Amino acid sequence: MSRKNKEDDAKYAKEYYKKHRDEILSRCKKYQYVHREERREYTKKWYQKNKDNPGRKDRMRDYWLKRQFGISLEEYNSMLCEQKGRCAICKTTDPNCSGNAKLKNFHIDHDHITGKVRGLLCNKCNLNLGWYEQWKTQAESYLKNN
């Protein structure tokens, strides 16, 4: 089969993967199992070499934000500035207001159906808003009846 351009190559690769998916995944798993110690050692060396790289954490966070929410680190920081470094609901400056010692950044509040980012919330407001969205009608019904 002759392929003339990159689009044809991409199409061919996609079709090939669809036809041979199980075989390819099986080979990948076998390779990873056989070479697990080498891969583990390589990862350790890479981390030791790059752990003090000043931009590494920002690049990783930027990648994660784009993948999870479709926003960049720059957009996150812009939102944080617009909110004056505060939670969008309770206005606290502490993203860790519930005592979770590991939390360093505000949560990104987003609509789980549309994926639209709404704002940045502290841990407590994020948990309460999640609960409210899930139980809104039951809670309102309870309050009306009692």
The CATH number for 90's domain is 3.40.1800.10
Both 118 and 58 in a single domain?
yes
Q: In the chain, what percentage of residues exceed pLDDT 90?
A: 47
Q: At what angle do helices 73-82 and 56-69 cross, to 10 degrees?
A: 80
Both 44 and 100 in a single domain?
no
> Tell me, what's the pLDDT at 101?
60
Does the pLDDT value for residue 1 go beyond 50? no
Is residue 16 in a domain? yes
Instruction: Summarize the confidence of residues 100-112 as an average pLDDT.
Output: 82
Q: Give me the domain span that covers residue 28.
A: 6-48
DSSP the chain: ----SHHHHHHHHHHHHHHHHHHHHHHHHHHHHHTHHHHHHHHHHHHHHHTT-TTHHHHHHHHHHHHHHS--HHHHHHHHHHTTTS-TTT--S-TTTT--TT--S-EEEE-TTT--EEEEE-HHHHHHHHHHHHHHHHHHHHHHH-
Is residue 60 in a domain? yes
> Tell me, what's the pLDDT at 37?
95
> Measured at the alpha carbon of residue 62, what is the angle toward residues 43 and 75, in degrees to the nearest 5?
175
